[in-house]
Amino acid sequence: MKTPSSDLFNLIHSLSKTEKRYFKTQAQRHVIGGKNSYVDLFDAIAMQKEFDEEKLKKKLAKAVEIKHWASTKKYLYEQLLDSLHQFRLTHSVEEKIKKGIHTIRILLDKQLYKQSEKLISKIRKLIIDYGLYEYMPELLSNERKHLKRQTQRKKVGDKDWYEMHEKMQDALVQIELKDKILLINSLVMDWHLKKGVLKKEEEKAKLDELMADKVLEIEPDHKNIQLYSSVQHIHTMYSFLNGNIKGALEHTQKAVKHIEDNPKLVALNPSGCLAFYGNLMNFSFQCKEDEEFLKHAEKFLKLPVHSVLKRVPRIGASVFARGHVLLLNMHLIDGAFDKIVELIPVVEKGIDTHKNGMMTVHLVNLQLLIALSYFGLGNYEKCLEYCDAVLDHKVKDVIEDFYYGASLLQLIAHYELGNDRLLESLLKNTRRRNNSKGNPYEAERLLFYYLNKLNNAPAQKEQKVLYELFLEDIQKVKEDTAENRPFQFFFYVTWLKSKVNNCSFKDAFQKEDADWRLSD
């Protein structure tokens, strides 16, 4: 039996709220009383969290006959694509230019030369203002036709034809320049996605050679407004690949300033601009410029109401997740437990609201940070609830680090709750799983060793000695930068100090013990 296609489901769930509203408005124009069956199908699919065609058929049995099911699905799919096309005609600069060029051709065919001349001027200005020179050759081709048809009605000399040639040559130069920058951007992005941070000298040398290209020296006042921010993005990735987060922040700041000086860029590439604002917030956080970070975070969280950016699909979920990952992280680092108490309900409500539109990596990151927050507040049951939420995801869908961090935190929370038998079993399983992935970190090995000892220590006095030994060993390990990873997922020193001094985690907290940056 053929598996039903999920193409329609995927298309509907890719739509932004604005696009859905536009489609529904367009669909209602074709109804006189009652409701379209394909609109019923649209609503039913939009409500599904996972595609299930059999449930849809049962739910819509009265609205869509089985014999018409395939044709209704096909018709809805085509109507959605047509709606998106019409929507982009209204909101996309590129679509306006393409429509304008097509209209010029029609006016020329009808010999309406004055009207075509006015539209040629208007479309040329759009192309130059937005740096969309790739459309200039086709416009100039139509302008040549316009000029050719005017030769008998007005004086057209050699100068006019040479000017036309120069315009074409300039457009081709701009197109080649943009294409070269796009090529370098793609190559560096590929390195960024595959390598993360470069470690080998031969890799760095190869990247340096690529970055030596003169096209990357473009200034902010270049005639094509798109190119400067694109070049700054390349420099940002280059800095990141070299482990220079400060440099990445500086280039992102330049890009954002250029965008704010040229608002047309937001309309041209809303998703790209959103990414720049997110990187500005993230790199400020990574560079420990906390005042700047809070300022950028406040601004970032307001972006979903921007008149242009709100059209970006799932912007609400993306902005909510990225902003609150970093805010929760910062409050944990600062030991700002009063702010954590205020923020947790906001984050939990936001997860319920945006869960379906949120990237898995953002959702898991938030869940792990909430687990850490509850641990810091001494609520170990809620900590375990969120550890379980992380561990319930399919491993292939979760960044390994988050799964790793949640599994270690789970052990410590069970220890705090005195779940001795369960802890004994979990220790064996977690140790076995982590050892199978290669050499364990020393902090990890110490955790397994001392938790096993503590779980079997009968007297409080004996436990305190073990806490003191564990603290001494873990502080030595923390000084080794190669052992950094485990400390990015738990505040071992603060926790052990609270045990040694018999006080709450909050009272034992010291900023230098928890200054890790679990970024988005």
Together in a domain, 82 and 175: no
Region 309-338: mean pLDDT is 88
Together in a domain, 195 and 293: yes
Q: Give the pLDDT band (50/70/90) at residue 247.
A: very high
306 assigned to some structural domain: yes
Instruction: Tell me which residue of 90, 58, 92, 73 sits closest to 12, measured CA to CA.
Output: 73
Region 378-384: mean pLDDT is 95
Please say which residue of 311, 327, 354 terminates a domain: 311
What's the CA gap between 56 and 66, in Å, rounded? 11
Please say which residue of 40, 72, 91 terminates a domain: 91
Identify which has the larger pLDDT, 229 or 311.
229
269 assigned to some structural domain: yes
284 assigned to some structural domain: yes
Domains identified in the chain, total number? 2
The residue range of the domain holding 73 is: 7-91
Region 22-30: mean pLDDT is 80
Q: What percent of the chain has pLDDT over 90?
A: 48
Burial class (CB in 10 A: 0-12, 13-18, 19+), 395: exposed
Quick one: tokens of 438? 């290669």
Domain of residue 195, CATH code: 1.25.40
For residue 29, which phi and psi values (nearest 5 degrees)?
-70, -20
Which range has the worst mean pLDDT, 58-62, 343-347, 394-398? 394-398
Most confident of 115-129, 348-362, 384-398: 115-129
Asked if the model's pLDDT at residue 282 lies above 70, the reply is yes
Asked if the model's pLDDT at residue 32 lies above 50, the reply is no
What's the CA gap between 383 and 370, in Å, rounded? 7
Region 491-506: mean pLDDT is 92
Most confident of 13-22, 245-254, 471-480: 245-254
Region 230-235: mean pLDDT is 96
For tokens 């030369």, what's the residue?
A: 113
Quick one: tokens of 163? 């000017």
401 assigned to some structural domain: no
What's the CA gap between 376 and 507, in Å, rounded? 10
Q: How many CB atoms lie within 10 A of CB 62?
A: 8
Together in a domain, 282 and 179: yes
What distance lies between CA 104 and its chain's CA centroid?
A: 39
Together in a domain, 180 and 306: yes
Together in a domain, 87 and 174: no
Which range has the worst mean pLDDT, 46-50, 135-139, 408-412, 442-446? 46-50
Please say which residue of 91, 121, 150 terminates a domain: 91
What is the predicted pLDDT for the residue at 487?
83
Q: From residue 335, give the alpha-carbon distance in Å to each of 367, 419, 505, 506, 510.
A: 18, 27, 10, 7, 8
Average pLDDT of the residues of the chain = 87
Report the amino acid identity of residue 207: L
Region 254-259: mean pLDDT is 96
Together in a domain, 197 and 305: yes
Burial class (CB in 10 A: 0-12, 13-18, 19+), 190: exposed
Region 366-372: mean pLDDT is 94
Together in a domain, 177 and 303: yes
What's the CA gap between 195 and 54, in Å, rounded? 44
Asked if the model's pLDDT at residue 438 lies above 70, the reply is no
Which range has the worst mean pLDDT, 11-15, 256-260, 447-451, 475-479? 11-15
Q: What percent of the chain has pLDDT over 70?
A: 92
Asked if the model's pLDDT at residue 516 lies above 80, the reply is no
Region 204-213: mean pLDDT is 91
What's the CA gap between 399 and 263, in Å, rounded? 36
Asked if the model's pLDDT at residue 217 lies above 50, the reply is yes
Together in a domain, 58 and 182: no
Asked if the model's pLDDT at residue 439 lies above 80, the reply is no
What's the CA gap between 250 and 490, in Å, rounded? 30
Are 409 and 490 within 8 A, CB to CB?
yes
What's the CA gap between 392 and 401, in Å, rounded? 15
Identify which has the larger pLDDT, 104 or 156.
104
11 assigned to some structural domain: yes
What distance lies between CA 388 and its chain's CA centroid?
A: 25
Identify which has the larger pLDDT, 306 or 256.
256
Are 236 and 279 within 8 A, CB to CB?
yes
What is the predicted pLDDT for the residue at 315?
87
What is the predicted pLDDT for the residue at 520?
44
What's the CA gap between 172 and 360, in Å, rounded? 42
Asked if the model's pLDDT at residue 499 lies above 90, the reply is yes
What is the predicted pLDDT for the residue at 42?
86
443 assigned to some structural domain: no
493 assigned to some structural domain: no
Region 191-195: mean pLDDT is 77
74 assigned to some structural domain: yes
Together in a domain, 187 and 306: yes
Instruction: Tell me which residue of 287, 286, 315 sits closest to 301, measured CA to CA.
Output: 315
**pLDDT tens per residue, range 84-141:** 888 877 778 998 999 999 999 999 999 898 899 999 999 999 999 999 999 999 999 9
Give pairs for 284-293: CB < 8 Å, separation 24+. Answer: 284/249, 285/326, 285/329, 285/330, 285/517, 285/519, 286/245, 286/249, 286/517, 286/519, 287/245, 287/246, 287/249, 288/517, 289/249, 290/330, 290/334, 293/326, 293/330
